[in-house]
Amino acid sequence: MSADMQKLIGANEEDDEEEIEMDVKEEDNEDHENGQKHIAAQMMLGADGVMPSTSHQFQIQQQLQEQVSTPGGGAWRSRPLEEKERTKLRERHRRAITARILAGLRKHGNYNLRVRADINDVIAALAREAGWVVLPDGTTFPSRSQGSRPAGDSSAGLTSSSSQMLSQQVPPTSLQGVSSGYCASVEYNACHMKGVFMPTPAPYDLSSSGHSQSSGMVGNGGEQTESLPLIAGSMEVINEQIIGLPPKLPERDFAGTPYVPVYVMLPLGVVNMKCELVDPDGLLKQLRVLKSINVDGVMIDCWWGIVEADAPQEYNWNGYRRLFKMVHELKLKLQVVMSFHECGGNVGDDVCIPLPHWVAEIGRSNPDIFFTDREGRRNTECLSWGIDKERVLRGRTAVEVYFDFMRSFRVEFNEFFEDGIISMVEVGLGPCGELRYPSCPVKHGWRYPGIGEFQCYDQYMLKSLMKAAEMRGHSFWARGPDNVGSYSSHPHETGFFCDEGDYDGYYGRFFLNWYSQLLINHGDLVLSLAKLAFEGSCIAAKLPGIHWWYKTSSHAAELTAGFYNPCNRDGYIAIAAMLHKHGAALNFARAELQFLEQREDLQEALANPQGLVWQVLNAAWETCITVVSENAFVCHDRVGYNKILENVKPVNDPDGRHFSSFTYLRLTPLLMERQNFMEFERFVKRMHGEAVLYLQV
């Protein structure tokens, strides 16, 4: 393999050298021709600037031919070697700049450029994005004024003749599974046909309601321009012969695959702290746009800190009722999250929603209701699991508070459950709504890929640890490990998490088993009450994808988060069994994790996203629980959507298993931009198992 790569690299370098030599030779030839013209001009004119006689002109021509034919003679001489070298250096510098531009466009601009593309390809790609038509010979003109091309252009008849050829190719009837649409003019209308998707125009172009209904490309300035017709069966001819676009990249056909519902997560601040719906008119417009492309529904966080903000058991659902009614009228579905954590300070948080005020007052007098690290720092993001059965919240335990909140929600919105509008309730079980310890708080100094710290030092969890140690007969084990480093440490820097470290000793196994069992017990207790409150409805729990340090023996980052999953133990099968016990679905919030292997930061952190995804999904499939998912990273391009599709609908699963639904994070103005929304519409169609045409966007 290395020998082949060397040959390939050598061949490329030889090609570059040959091209540089050709450029230098062309410059020499140009100098040669200029020299000839200069000599001829001087010899054809006399000293006084008067044209000589005819016989004298004949003599001059003979002298000129002798000078030109004599190597190194006459006024023209070969260029110095130093100047040729300088020309080569300038050419190499130009090529290096071009290579960087091309690399940036491929990586960030989603331009489909060939490997040995030059600056002409770059200019052509940018021109096409701005709405211009670029012919193979380089002729460029606005797509609206095709008749204004140069009259003498040899390819002027290409478009008209090709259009005739295309019209002849369009079949009179639709083929089975894939229909063909035809638009006679250069603008094409939205065509929704059975089995085939073609993008709709204006509904999602929120910023230009008065624009033409024709679908086209949008330049940087937002000006809409028409494009050539996109016709099934003729796409290749248009792309390659008329516009000169590169051939399409191969991608999997999801036509006929199982229907996977697609939901869109609404903005975090869609309901304000007074439980009022923010910008209902704007939201209604966006919901109608989502409905127009057959999105199945939306997901919304119901924040504990908003609904029960001022006093215990005083619930205000006004803003959510107005929102739910709006969704119901549009015949969309709802996925609802019972969010018992605060919002703000985590990745993607653009609003601040604290825990209820009355809970904060209790915390000021009794800070042990919050998770605590070894240094005594409190994490107010959610309540400690140590008070799940402790009556420290105005006479109620933490799980009683959660149950009262869920029961109030069920009573308030019972008609939405009965009508099937609410399709799933996801129960928040920890920070970010995920079943995990808050082991990696940025506000306490954690930075990726740090291992995090254990969060078990409030008095209630320490009391639980003491009880477990005494039952084991080793009361001196009633302590947290002291050789675990800090939040941003790496496993090999600690005595506990390093290879053959204390994590695998007698005390380490005892502590990690107790620490992880507390997590499972919390999920078991809260989900049992959720099942009671939402009887007959689907409930779900969310798990994080902690993939860094997965290739080490200890899996340190998972251990501090509560997942006892070292290399010699499966830490997810017990969690899957707990979910199966309550009929709860698993929301594994990393739909595209397994495709991140090549990222340099993941390699340095000995991460293994693909291995983690396989292990978690395998535990879920083995226990026969439903799996749903959402994206972990912002996605607006086709490459990212294809990765999600491959994970949601795995092609090689022998049992044909797939995710039951997918939630897109999240509804933003960037998603509603025309180009991005066209890709999202196409993604929804493929999730639904419909055939789509290949469109270069």
* CA–CA gap between residue 161 and residue 558 (Å, rounded): 64
Q: What is the tens place of the pLDDT at every residue in 73-130?
A: 444 445 577 777 788 888 888 777 877 777 777 666 666 666 667 778 778 778 777 7
Q: Are the C-beta atoms of residues 571 and 516 closer than 8 Å to each other?
A: yes
434 is catalytic: yes
Instruction: Determine the 3-state secondary structure of 216 from DSSP.
Output: strand
- What are the extents of the domains in the chain? 262-688
| Block residue for tokens 């240094």 | 375
Catalytically annotated residue among 187, 426, 434, 646: 434
Question: 56-65, 79-88, 401-410, 453-462: which range is least confident on average?
Answer: 56-65
State how far the Cα of 618 lies from the Cα of 576, in Å rounded to an integer.
10
Phi-psi region of 410 (alpha: psi -120 to 50; beta: other; left: phi over 0): alpha
Alpha carbon distance 226, 584 (integer Å): 49
Please tell me the predicted confidence (pLDDT) of residue 84: 78
Confidence of residue 276 (pLDDT cuts 50, 70, 90): very high
pLDDT at 149 over 50: no
Higher pLDDT, 153 or 410: 410
pLDDT at position 596 is 56
Q: How many helices (H) and strands (E) does the chain have?
A: 20, 17
Residues 528-581: tens digit of each pLDDT: 999 999 999 999 999 999 999 999 999 999 999 999 999 999 999 999 999 999
Alpha helices in 495-637 (DSSP H): 506-533, 556-561, 573-581, 600-604, 609-622
What's the Cα-to-Cα distance from 342 to each of 101, 355, 447, rounded to whole Å? 43, 5, 20
| pLDDT at residue 156 in the model | 36
Whether 470 is catalytic = no
Contact by Cβ (8 Å): 100, 94: no
What is the average pLDDT across 596-619?
Answer: 83
Q: What is the pLDDT of residue 4?
A: 46
Confidence at residue 589, expressed as pLDDT on a 0 to 100 scale: 76
CATH number for domain 262-688, candidates 1.10.10.10, 3.40.50.2300, 3.30.9.10, 3.20.20.80: 3.20.20.80
> Mind listing the pLDDT tens digit for each residue in 522-541?
999 999 999 999 999 999 99
pLDDT in tens, 435-481: 999 999 999 999 999 999 999 999 999 999 999 999 999 999 999 99
Q: One of 308, 630, 679, 681 is an active-site residue; which one?
A: 630
| pTM strictly above 0.75 | no
- Asked if residue 31 has pLDDT above 70, the reply is no
